């Protein structure tokens, strides 16, 4: 009679499925790690850009205050050195304006923007970040609002320059009539107060933007980590269930095989892959 051949079910079927899930978890971990590193890198660049602009605003504000101070001093001293100091201070604010106008062009003139920011006394190491930040975030709400405040200061700076010219002309032409000089000083004070409010608004807007970015990046990072952990737990649970099921099926199969083998009711032959007989039993039937 034909003897039943013992066969082992392909052992790699559940392993392949489990291995695929492990590969999926590892791939997901790599993808999320890359996304989180990208988010951290972006956050660092954003904060660097914000820091550079806040520092630039400080330099701009100091130059503006110096321009008013030297012009007011000139109204009393009539010294040419005071007027030249006023002009030098104004050039700082005009340099930042030149940079912004260059970046507003289509396409942006980054070389002119670079020179403008240098004229604004910005650190050369910060200029690249300032250009990158402007070009990539000029339409984002907080940066858009800050740039609008920056633009609105142009008129006040132009008025400051015009007031300086009028004051110098008045002093050179007439020696400085008291009532006219007093009127120009009053205009200077109004311009200074206006510019101070704009400076505070610019810094406040950028600060709010930086806090929003930090909160947004943190939220996204936590969400990505939560998704990864949730998927990892689910897939791991499925793998454990599959392994446990395979173990139970293997134990049951082995138990049935041994019971059948020990019964001596039939003959069983098992052989290796090379065709050599590994084990054989004899049937009790005659």
The percent of residues in the chain predicted with pLDDT above 90, rounded, is: 45
Dihedral sign, Cα of residue 124, residue 126, residue 129, residue 131: negative
Return d(Cα 212, Cα 140) in angstroms, integer: 11
Mean pLDDT of the chain: 83
Residue 169 confidence (pLDDT): 95
Return d(Cα 118, Cα 266) in angstroms, integer: 96
Q: What are 139-149's pLDDT values in tens digits?
A: 888 889 999 99
Answer yes or no: are the C-beta atoms of 165 and 72 closer than 8 Å: no
State pTM to two decimals: 0.68
- Averaged over 51-56, what is the pLDDT? 87
Residue 218 confidence (pLDDT): 77
Return d(Cα 151, Cα 158) in angstroms, integer: 12
Cite the DSSP H helix spans in 175-273: 178-263
Return d(Cα 164, Cα 152) in angstroms, integer: 20
Q: What are 154-190's pLDDT values in tens digits?
A: 999 999 999 999 999 999 999 999 999 999 999 999 9
Distances (CA, A) of 64 to 101, 140, 158, 191, 269: 19, 27, 12, 10, 99
Answer yes or no: are the C-beta atoms of 146 and 53 closer than 8 Å: yes
Residue 255 confidence (pLDDT): 76
């Amino acid at each position: 009679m034909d003897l039943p051949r013992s066969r082992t079910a392909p052992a790699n079927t559940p392993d392949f499925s489990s291995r695929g899930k492990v590969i999926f978890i590892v791939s997901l971990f790599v993808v999320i790690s890359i996304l989180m590193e990208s988010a951290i890198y972006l956050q660092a660049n954003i904060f660097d850009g914000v820091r550079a602009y806040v520092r630039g605003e400080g330099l701009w504000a100091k130059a503006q205050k110096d321009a008013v101070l030297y012009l007011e001093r000139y109204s009393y001293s009539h010294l040419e050195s005071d007027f030249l100091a006023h002009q030098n201070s104004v050039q700082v604010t005009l340099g930042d304006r030149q940079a912004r106008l260059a970046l507003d062009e289509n396409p942006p003139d980054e070389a002119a923007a670079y020179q403008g920011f240098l004229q604004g006394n910005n650190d050369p190491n910060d200029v690249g970040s300032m250009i990158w930040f402007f070009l990539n975030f000029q339409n984002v709400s907080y940066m858009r609002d800050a740039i609008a405040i920056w633009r609105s200061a142009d008129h006040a700076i132009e008025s400051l320059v015009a007031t300086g010219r009028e004051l110098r002309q008045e002093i050179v032409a007439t020696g400085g009539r008291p009532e006219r000089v007093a009127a120009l000083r009053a205009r200077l004070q109004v311009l200074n107060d206006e510019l101070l409010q704009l400076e505070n608004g610019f810094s406040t807007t950028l600060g709010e933007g930086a806090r929003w970015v930090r909160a947004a990046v943190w939220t996204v990072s936590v969400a990505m980590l939560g998704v990864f952990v949730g998927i990892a737990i689910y897939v791991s649970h499925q793998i454990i269930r599959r392994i446990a099921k395979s173990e139970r099926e293997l134990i049951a199969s082995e138990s049935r095989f041994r019971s059948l083998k020990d019964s001596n009711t039939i003959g069983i032959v098992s052989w290796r892959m090379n065709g050599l007989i590994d084990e054989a039993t004899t049937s009790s039937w005659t």
